[in-house]
Copies of this chain bind each other. A is one copy, B any other.
Amino acid sequence: MRIVVLAGGIGGARFLRGLKQAAPDADITVIGNTGDDIHLFGLKVCPDLDTVMYTLGGGINEEQGWGRADETFHLKEELAAYGVGPEWFGLGDRDFATHIVRTQMITAGFPLSAVTEALCDRWKPGVRLLPMTDDRVETHVAVELDGERKAVHFQEYWVRLRASVPAEAVVPVGAEQSKPAPGVLEALAEADVILFPPSNPVVSIGTILAVPGIREAIADAGVPVVGLSPIVGDAPVRGMADKVLAAVGVESTAAAVAEHYGSGLLDGWLVDTVDADAVTRVRAAGILCRAVPLMMSGLDATTQMAREALAMAEEVREA
């Protein structure tokens, strides 16, 4: 079975760990969000790709969900001692190596997709990890800060400001001119199932869908497309998805996110058992829906979520 998963960072990565358990023989391709990529200290940092790679490759800091295990922060401390920032972005000493290797390869002319493949040669994530695009796409968030309206990099909004001010707009700068990375459209065309893990519908999956050709390839694939709600009980399971949902005019509920994707894209949608009353509304939008436990409290729970998603895909296929 060929499964394609659109993934952001932590939520996507943890779901993938469950999916590997649920479908050990499946051929899994992950299309990773690169809209949150950022250049820091002259280095290209790809937080979402790395979170997937580290999580599936056994190098992740399990507690925080991002960054490396057994990490130290000496380099960052020294940069701060030189007065060089930003200090709000937590790059550890081990993590820096990934960005140095990536930047060296990018500088040498390799596209990000080839670089990601080379990095995965070490981590062996057990999935094929593709960036959504080799082109530069950078998610900016329009905010009002100190009485002034300005656009900040997504990481500045998310990490430095901790989404403490309303996001007035979320713009994946460069997306319109970008092309899907090599292998992305092929993987979608050959997929048996396409899954949206409980990743952020705006800044993770939404950004991937903003790369011209990807949304169409999913809609045209003619295979079940099943998603899992990142909103449980009207609040994001992790992160601050509600902050950016408001920017695109979507309420922070499991049902509203399904409607946001729409039946043109989505065939099935899993909501948490606490959101069982959303099922009727989602079905009314022409999307198959079921309530199952969606808290990724551990590998078993996550594996069960992946099984439910695959079962729903089967159901869609047979319908």
Contact = CB atoms under 8 A, between A and B. Distances in A.
B41 A82 contact: no
Contact of A96 (B75, B103, B122): B75
A107 B79 CA distance: 17
Contact of A97 (B79, B94, B104, B107): B79
A76 B75 CA distance: 12
A104 to B, nearest CB: 5
Contacts of A92: 74
Contacts of A83: 122
Q: Chain A contact residues (Cβ within 8 angstroms of B): what range?
A: 20 to 34
Given A72-B72, A84-B100, 16 more contacts: A41-B104, A42-B100, A42-B103, A42-B107, A71-B74, A74-B97, A75-B96, A75-B100, A77-B94, A78-B93, A78-B96, A78-B98, A79-B101, A83-B122, A84-B101, A84-B104
> How often does this chain occur in the complex, in copies?
2
Interface string A104-121: 100100000000000100
Chain B CB within 10 Å, residue with most, of A41, A93, A98:
A93
16 contacts: A41-B100, A42-B103, A72-B93, A74-B74, A74-B92, A74-B93, A74-B97, A75-B96, A75-B97, A78-B94, A79-B100, A82-B97, A82-B101, A83-B122, A84-B101, A84-B104
A313 to B, nearest CB: 36
A101 B85 CA distance: 10
Question: Top 8 A-B pairs ranked by shortest CB distance?
Answer: A78-B97, A74-B93, A93-B93, A79-B97, A75-B93, A78-B94, A74-B94, A82-B101
Contacts of A319: none
A96 B281 CA distance: 55
Nearest to A80: B97
Interface in A135-169: none
A96 to B, nearest CB: 5
Contact of A74 (B72, B78, B119): B72
